[in-house]
Amino acid sequence: MARWEPGARERLVVAAVDLFIEQGYDATTVTEIAERAGVTKSTFFRHFPDKRELLVAGQETLSRLLAEGIAEAPTDASPLEAVAAGLERASGEMGPQNRELGPRLKAAVAASTELQERDALKSVGMAAAMTDALVARGVPETSAHLASEMGVLAFKQGYARWSETPQDDDGLAPHALDALRDLRAAMTALG
């Protein structure tokens, strides 16, 4: 096993997603994931407490980047402009591997109720981080919650669009920002 090779965490995520698609989440074992990734079972447990946590790999970093972007937005930015700054900050950290994993991850989540629940918790965590950052800027809590939920939805829609266009070299940010503009227009159209 290649324990010394870099990128073990990323290889574990890719291996798990592929195995979840091939044989289902419930039928996939930690041992199989570790073997597919070319690491030992103990290396798996150094990175993840269990296979459920593979889906939320990077959630803390993503939430932190979203919150930092919001905190660093200009002081006169509206709540949605601050959310846009958070989306730009977080999107800048997403590379080609994230884009390639998107469709496979979507398929794995769609096939498992447990993974759907983990994905929902990931969204809650992202929204909470953005809400806290907006409230810290002085945005009223109700407005902060609404802007954060729109931010989560924009991130998800933008990520889906980006992952479906593999020839796109502009990155995730333009897709996430376009999705946020679309959501803002839809909210305005609601009256």
Output the tens digit of pLDDT for each of the chain's 191 residues.
444 456 888 899 999 999 999 999 999 999 999 999 999 999 999 999 988 888 777 788 899 999 999 999 999 999 999 999 999 999 988 888 788 888 888 888 888 898 888 888 889 999 999 999 999 999 999 999 999 999 999 999 999 999 888 676 788 999 999 999 999 999 999 98
What pLDDT, in 10s, does the model give residues 3-52?
445 688 889 999 999 999 999 999 999 999 999 999 999 999 999 998 88
Q: Which phi and psi (to 5°) does residue 17 adopt? A: -60, -45
Topology of the domain comprising 8-53: Arc Repressor Mutant, subunit A (1.10.10)
Question: For the whole model, what pTM was predicted?
Answer: 0.84
C-alpha to C-alpha distances, 160 to 18, 99, 134, 174, nearest whole angstrom: 18, 9, 25, 12
Same fold? 8-53, 57-189: no
Topology of the domain comprising 57-189: Tetracycline Repressor; domain 2 (1.10.357)
C-alpha to C-alpha distances, 169 to 101, 155, 164, nearest whole angstrom: 16, 17, 12
User: Domain residues of the chain, as ranges?
Assistant: 8-53, 57-189
Give pLDDT, residue 165. Answer: 81
